[in-house]
Amino acid sequence: MIATPLHRRTLFRAAGAAALLAGLPAAQRAAAAEEQGLALGAATPFSYDLLTARAQALAAQPYQPPYRPAPEIVEAIDYDAHGKIKFKTDLAPYADGTGAYPATFFHLGRFFGEAVRMNLVVGDDSREILYRPRYFDMPEDSPARKLPADSGFAGFRLQESNKRDDWRTQDWVAFLGASYFRAIGALGQYGMSARGIAIDVAVKGSPEEFPIFTQFFIAEAPDPAQPVVVCALLDGPSVSGAYRFTLHRTEGVVMEVEAAVFLRKAVTRLGLAPLTSMFWYGEYGRGRMLDWRPEVHDSDGLAIWTAGGERIWRPLNNPREIMVSSFGGDSPRGFGLMQRDRNFDHYLDGVFYDRRPSVWVEPLAPLGRGAIQLVELPTDDEIHDNIVAFWVPEDRPAAGSRLDLSYRLHWLADEPYPDQAVARTIATRMGRGGEPGKPRPPGVYKIVAEFDNPAVMRQIPYGVFPDVVVTASRGTIVRPFSEPVPNGNVWRATFDLAVDGTDPVELRLFLRLNDKPLTETWLYQFHPEPPPA
C-alpha cells in the first residue's frame, strides 16, 4: 500500500528524519521510523458495513473475553498511579495538522484492565496503532513498566482543535471503560456519562453485565467545522454490536449514534441509549451533618418529552434501597438527565457541579412501544454513579435478534428543544407538614415545587392564583395552594401529604389556569421517613 500523508507524517515527524533514514537497510529504516512516531499495523479494508457484519458473526459464536494482560500488575495501577501515566501529545495522531482534532490514549489501569485495540481510518482502510510503552510518560517506579509489550490501550480522547494553543491540555470527548463515554457540555465541564448499552441493570438475582468496546476506528476530520467519525465494536456475553459515532464539536458536543446490536441470548432488562449520572442530595434529601455543601449532584432530574407532547420533570432521589421507575408509552420525542440548577452558590464546590452537562437523547428513528426506565441506587458519597436512565423496548428481544438504533445525544447546558409555552420546575423542597405555631402531626409532610418561566407567569392576572392539580398514589393531599415567590416571576405550589408507613408515594402535580396547564408535569417518588427508633 502507498503511504498516505497521515502515515508518513505519523511515522516520520520531519523531512530531515526521512532523509537520514533513506540510506539505511529496510529493516533498520523500519525500526528507526517506529522510534520517530507511532507503530502502525498493516492496512486492512474498513467500513461500517464490514464492522456490522463482523459483529453479527461474533454474535453467532461463543463469547470470548477480551485480553487482560498481567491482571496482578494492572491491579497495582490504582487511581493515583494511573493519573501519573500520560500519553505523549507529540505522538498524537493528527497533532501535525493532518486532522483537526488530535487523538490521545489512556493507559490500562485497575478500573479498566481489558486491552482495547485502536485503529486509524484513512479512506477505505484502517491501520491498528500497535501499543508501545514508550508512548507514555510514567514515573520510574510505575507498576505499568512491568506490563508485557503487547498490553494495549484502555481508551482514547479527542483533544480540542490543534488550531488552539491549549489543545494539548483540553479535551472534549473521552471513551474509557466498558462501553462508557462522555463529553463536555456548553459550560466546559465533564460530568455524567453515556454508554453503548446497559444489560440487566438492577435485575434481582441477575448481576449486571458490562459489554465492552473492544476496538475503535478513528477517522480524521480535516477541518474543525467537520465532525469526527468514530466506529466501535461492542462485545459481551449477551450481545455484540457495531457502533458509529458522528461527533460534532459545537457550543457543547452533539453526537449522532448509529448502532446494529445482535443478541447472543435473551436479556431480562435491555437498556438502550443509556445515561449514567450521580445524585447524592439536592435542596431536599440532605441530612444536617451529611456534608458541608448545600447540594452535590451531576444531574438533578429526568426530563421527558412524550409522544403526545407532554413535558415531564422527575426530580432524582438517593433512595434507601434500589428503586426502578418506569414511564411507558409510544416512542417519546426525547428524554435526558438534566442539571438545571446553575447557581454556584447552591454547590459552593471548586469542582463546579453548576457547570456539569445536561444530556438529552433525541431518537432519530421511532423507538416503538416501551418505557423510559429510571434506576436510582443508594449512595453515601459523590464518587459513585447511582443514577441510570434508558429506553427498554416493550417486546423482549430474543436470542438471535438484531436491533438497529439511531439517536442523537446533546451534551449541552439545557434541553435542546425547550417548550416556551409552559413553566418548568426549578426547585423541589420538603419538610414537616402542619400549620406554623401548632404541634406538627406525625406522618404529615410539606412538599413544595417551584416553577419559572417569565413569559408564562407574567400572564397570570394580579390577585389570581392558579389551581394546584395534585394527586398521590396513596395517602391524603391536604391544603394545596399556589403563591408567587417574592422578588421574581417564580410561582410555588405547596401541599401537605398525610401518609402512613414508609412505602414510596408517587406524586403528580402541575399548575393550571382557565383549564390550561401553565407548567410542565412534576412527578416525584416520595419516600416517607421511618418512625424514630
pLDDT, tens digit, for every residue of 248-261?
A: 999 999 999 999 99
| Whether 447 and 380 share a structural domain | no
| Whether 86 and 175 share a structural domain | yes
**Residue 519 is assigned to a structural domain of this protein:** yes
**Residue 533 is assigned to a structural domain of this protein:** no
Q: State the cell numbers at 427.
A: 426547585
Out of 390, 412, 434, a domain closes at: 412
For the stretch 70-79, pLDDT in tens is 999 999 999 9
DSSP bridge pairs for 45: 125
| Whether 327 and 435 share a structural domain | no
| Whether 237 and 124 share a structural domain | yes
For the stretch 392-451, pLDDT in tens is 999 999 999 999 999 999 999 999 999 999 999 999 999 999 888 888 899 999 999 999
Out of 356, 377, 412, a domain closes at: 412
pLDDT for the residue numbered 29: 39
**Residue 69 is assigned to a structural domain of this protein:** yes
Band the pLDDT of 14: cuts 50, 70, 90: very low
| Whether 55 and 202 share a structural domain | yes
Instruction: Report CA-CA distances (Å) from 297 to 127, 277, 325, 347, 386.
Output: 41, 8, 19, 9, 10
| Whether 197 and 281 share a structural domain | yes
Instruction: Report CA-CA distances (Å) from 334 to 362, 405, 409.
Output: 5, 14, 10
Percent of the chain with pLDDT over 90: 86
Q: Which residue range is the domain that position 17 belongs to?
A: 5-37
Handedness of CA 126, 132, 133, 136 (dihedral sign): negative
- The domain tally of the chain equals 3
**Residue 199 is assigned to a structural domain of this protein:** yes
Contact 13, 37 (CB under 8 A): yes
| Whether 448 and 395 share a structural domain | no
| Whether 354 and 266 share a structural domain | yes
CATH of the domain at 480: 2.60.40.10
Burial zone of 163 (CB within 10 Å; 0-12 exposed, 13-18 middle, 19+ buried): exposed
**Residue 419 is assigned to a structural domain of this protein:** no
| Whether 19 and 121 share a structural domain | no
pLDDT for the residue numbered 26: 44
Q: What is the pTM of this model?
A: 0.92
**Residue 302 is assigned to a structural domain of this protein:** yes
Band the pLDDT of 35: cuts 50, 70, 90: low
| Whether 263 and 390 share a structural domain | yes
Position 28 pLDDT exceeds 90: no
Angle, vertex CA 244, rays to CA 239 and CA 248, nearest 5: 140
DSSP bridge pairs for 508: 471, 523
pLDDT for the residue numbered 36: 62
**Residue 531 is assigned to a structural domain of this protein:** no
Out of 412, 435, 459, a domain closes at: 412
| Whether 346 and 469 share a structural domain | no
Q: What is the 8-class DSSP label of residue 305?
A: E
Position 86 pLDDT exceeds 50: yes
For the stretch 149-171, pLDDT in tens is 999 999 999 999 999 999 999 99
Percent of the chain with pLDDT over 70: 93
DSSP bridge pairs for 491: 451, 484
CATH of the domain at 142: 2.70.98.10
Can you tell me the mean pLDDT for 224-230?
Answer: 96
**Residue 221 is assigned to a structural domain of this protein:** yes
| Whether 50 and 140 share a structural domain | yes
Can you tell me the mean pLDDT for 345-362?
Answer: 97
d(CA 53, CA 126): 16
d(CA 377, CA 92): 39
For the stretch 278-316, pLDDT in tens is 999 999 987 777 899 999 999 999 999 999 999 999 999
